Amino acid sequence: MAVVNRGFEGRGNSGERELPPGQHLTTDFPVLSTSVTPLIPKDKWELTLTSETGAERRWTWRDLRALPTESVVADIHCVTRWSKLDTTWEGVSVDTLLADVSTEATHVLASSYGGYTTNLPLTDLLGGKAWIVHRYDGKDLPALHGGPVRLLVPHLYFWKSAKWLNGLRLLRRDEPGFWERAGYHNHGDPWREERYEFD
């Protein structure tokens, strides 16, 4: 299990662009995971959307690739204090997946191959704020960074962008995920430095 110490301060903000408080720039793409990297063949990958009533919709890799895709350029911010600017992704907007879903849900629990979960308010996934991405920097998303598919929610700390995504469960109430149960902040806004539950 990856352990993040609150005392890790990073190298400071040395760029001209404003970064969230406490962040430093990196040109690398550090890999942090809670367990071993699952290797999911594309022909075995599946995403399940479960409504608050228990109704399910499923997408295979082929189904996902048939949906309209968007190119996304976004800054990403890790709770371990690194930020990477202008990252490039390609994927399907969460708005597309939920376009014809009638729901009274207020929250979503994202789940991954390997058992990882993270919770988000539904409003943080809609309105062009989140994507199901399968490409990074012009190439298929590598397994180390969450491939074949990960959630991308760049306006929140990166632990909310669940790697190896396989499920989105719509909920009428909030349900903390893996790191949230371990003491991380329930929301995770980097501009408010919402790192831990007591922030």
Write down the domain spans for the chain. Answer: 24-30+43-192
Tell me the CATH architecture of domain 24-30+43-192. Answer: Alpha-Beta Complex (3.90)
**Angstrom distance (rounded) from CA 164 to CA 35:** 12
Query: Which pLDDT band, with edges at 50, 70 and 90, does 6 fall under?
Result: very low
The contacts of residue 126 (CB under 8 Å, 6+ apart) are 94, 95, 98
14 — pLDDT class (breaks 50, 70, 90): very low
Q: In this predicted structure, what is the pLDDT of residue 12?
A: 45
Token couple for 116: 């990882």
Closest CA to 93 of 122, 128, 61, 119: 128
Span 18-67, pLDDT tens digits? 999 999 999 888 787 667 788 999 999 999 999 999 999 999 999 999 99
Question: How deeply is 27 buried, as exposed, middle or buried, from its count of CB atoms within 10 A (0-12, 13-18, 19+)?
Answer: exposed
Number of helices and strands in the chain (H, E):
3, 11
Report the pLDDT value the prediction gives residue 17, as an integer from 0 to 100.
78
* Amino acid identity, position 151: L
